[in-house]
């Protein structure tokens, strides 16, 4: 079997993808699977960065739980303009769009990734689409989880994303699937 093509670079939405922003009484914390996923990508030497439209003054508080090697890319042009994605990839020295992937639960950021020509992976169980954080997600019955997941998944596929996962724990398998699709000649 031929080798699966390597991922060139990964871009992430910051809030509610890598970090759950919490509330006044709860500080920002890593999203489920975020630190393990980032550690795995670091070991694989996959260049990574996050994107967000937060004002610069608010960013430091939100990124606190993330590893320091993770590249930051605050956004100057509102989404769904694609240039934030392109600038982040240039900062990572990606060199080519082929094999670049954007992961987010924010529909406007995913649209920016699609506009930029990236593979896109939507997060179905995030606050952006489901309106609840991971702790609240865990308290839902399996039926309620499935209803929210199904509604979010339909919204994401209607947007045009290439793949949908619940949380970052499933990212490795999803990236392998994208690699197989690339082997078959599929492009974003």
Q: What is the CATH number of the domain that holds 91?
A: 3.40.50.1000
pLDDT digits (tens, 9 = 90+) for 31-48: 989 999 999 999 999 999
In a domain, 129, yes or no: yes
In a domain, 105, yes or no: yes
In a domain, 4, yes or no: no
> In this structure, what are the phi and psi dihedrals at residue 183, rounded to the nearest 5 degrees?
-60, -35
Provide the pLDDT for residue 3.
62
Q: 130: closest CA among 111, 144, 149? A: 149
Please tell me the pTM assigned to this model: 0.93
In a domain, 139, yes or no: yes
pLDDT digits (tens, 9 = 90+) for 104-150: 999 999 999 999 999 999 999 877 788 777 778 888 899 998 998 99
In a domain, 188, yes or no: no
16 pLDDT band (50/70/90 cuts)? confident
In a domain, 18, yes or no: yes
Number of structural domains found in the chain: 1
In a domain, 90, yes or no: yes
In a domain, 1, yes or no: no
Q: Which domain holds residue 142?
A: 9-183
């Amino acid at each position: 079997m031929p080798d699966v093509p390597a991922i060139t670079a990964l871009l992430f939405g910051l809030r509610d993808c890598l970090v759950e922003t919490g509330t006044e009484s709860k500080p920002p914390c890593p999203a489920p699977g975020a630190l393990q996923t980032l550690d795995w990508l670091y070991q694989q030497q996959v260049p990574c960065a996050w994107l967000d439209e937060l004002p610069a003054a608010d960013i430091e508080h939100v990124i606190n739980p993330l590893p320091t090697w993770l590249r930051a890319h605050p956004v100057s042009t509102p989404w769904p303009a694609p240039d934030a994605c392109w600038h982040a990839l240039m900062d990572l020295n990606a060199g080519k769009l082929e094999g670049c992937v954007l992961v987010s639960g924010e529909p406007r950021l995913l649209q920016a990734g699609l506009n930029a020509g990236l593979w896109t992976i939507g997060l179905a169980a995030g606050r952006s689409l489901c309106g609840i954080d991971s702790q609240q997600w865990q308290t839902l019955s399996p039926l309620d989880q499935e209803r929210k997941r199904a509604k979010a998944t339909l919204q994401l596929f209607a947007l045009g994303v290439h793949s949908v996962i619940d949380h970052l724990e499933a990212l490795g398998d999803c990236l392998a699937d994208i690699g197989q699709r690339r082997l078959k000649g599929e492009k974003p």
